[in-house]
Amino acid sequence: MTDKKDIILFGPGKIGQALCEQLVNAIDRYYLPLRITAIVDSSGYVHNAAGFTPEQLQKLINAKNEGAPLRTLPESNNTAAIAQHFDLNTILIDTSNAQALYPVLLKGLKKGCSLVMCNKNNLIQPWPVAEPFYSSANVGYESTVCAGTPVIAALRNLVSGFDDVEYIEGCLSGTLNYIFSALEQDLSYAQAIENAHMLGYTEPDPRDDLNGMDTARKALIMARTVGWPLELDDIEVESLYPEEFHAYTKDQFFQRLKRLNGYTQQLRQQAMAESMTLRYVSAVNPNGGFCQLKAVARDSEYGLLDNTANKLMIHSRVHNHIPLMIAGAGAGAEITALGLMADLLNLAGI
């Protein structure tokens, strides 16, 4: 048996590739006892028991970036067989956007693998389904909230120190923060959304940010981390576009974007008249929470946030007069990969 930990990466997309790059550099520079032994996409996987060389890894990534599913490569395997490579020495990394990985990741946990993920899908399942991922000491999910900004680590520290978290509040969406701070530059709502999309800050379909659900998922993950077994339904979510826009295709949505200008107009004018500004604010407590567009003072903790920044305030028994505040970049491949890397090294005991 080798003293190296085997890494199996599910999801060689933007974040997965950024992590591979950081890993290859760190393994080389710090002689880390780690090796990447399998890459898995939605079509199949490629395995190398000795660990991929940087050149082999780059070849796989190049193939993916040229649009080739892994199953089309001669050395590929059927995903159903991946669990044969799981043992106590294995670290599974989920940088995919898949829901379908739940059974295979759970199987990994049961076989004693460690698991690191930035994919929120398993953590937002109904509580009895998601619970094993929260209760296992072998799971890290720092990058699911505020990219790699260490929010989950802070919450876990409070819990393990027997502090009682009472209330968590914050601006949790880098994309929505970009859009609403851009309105202060006299852009229309439609222009701000379009700019955010062009800069790559939104999901491919911006409605996936504007419907508030991604933010609600982050709020749910934080709540569950501090021991509140809430469900998504316990969080009231305000969508930032009207109901009728649900039915459009992505192209139709963009064609009708200007019609959204009226949607936030009244709130925006009212806020401006009172020297306030708009921010998408989320909050959770043991009983539930909300994600809502709110007017906040321009010089407040949230009003001063610009670009894709996130800010979080944690109120607890100990952090009561002054909440524990965490701010940082809320999106981006490099910072998300950094959070994954921190979890990975932690679980590998390095």
Ligand X SMILES: NC(=O)c1ccc[n+]([C@@H]2O[C@H](COP(=O)([O-])OP(=O)(O)OC[C@H]3O[C@@H](n4cnc5c(N)ncnc54)[C@H](OP(=O)(O)O)[C@@H]3O)[C@@H](O)[C@H]2O)c1
Interaction site with ligand X (CB under 6 A): 10-16, 40-43, 69, 95-98, 100-101, 118-119, 143, 147, 331-332, 336
Tally of residues, the chain: 350
Looking up tokens 């709502």, which residue turns up?
189
* Nearest to ligand X of 13, 288 (CB atom): 13
Cβ within 8 Å of residue 276, ≥6 positions away: 295, 296, 297, 298, 303
* Nearest to ligand X of 118, 347 (CB atom): 118
> Which strands form 165-171's sheet, in the order they lie side by side?
235-237, 288-297, 276-285, 165-171, 309-316, 324-329
Min separation Cβ 94 and ligand X, Å: 8
User: CA separation (Å) from 334 to 34, 139, 210, 275, 331?
Assistant: 20, 21, 24, 36, 9
Min separation Cβ 120 and ligand X, Å: 6
Min separation Cβ 261 and ligand X, Å: 27
Of 291, 152, 168, 175, whose CA–CA distance to 233 is shortest?
291
Nearest residue to ligand X by CB is 13
* Nearest to ligand X of 7, 260 (CB atom): 7
**CA–CA dist 242, 224 (Å, integer):** 30
Min separation Cβ 100 and ligand X, Å: 5
* Nearest to ligand X of 100, 318 (CB atom): 100
**CA–CA dist 169, 117 (Å, integer):** 23
Contact 117, 138 (CB under 8 A): no
Min separation Cβ 22 and ligand X, Å: 14
Min separation Cβ 23 and ligand X, Å: 15
* Nearest to ligand X of 215, 336 (CB atom): 336
Active site residue 111: no
* Nearest to ligand X of 98, 295 (CB atom): 98
Of 64, 120, 218, 311, which is the active-site residue?
218
Q: Known catalytic residues? A: 218
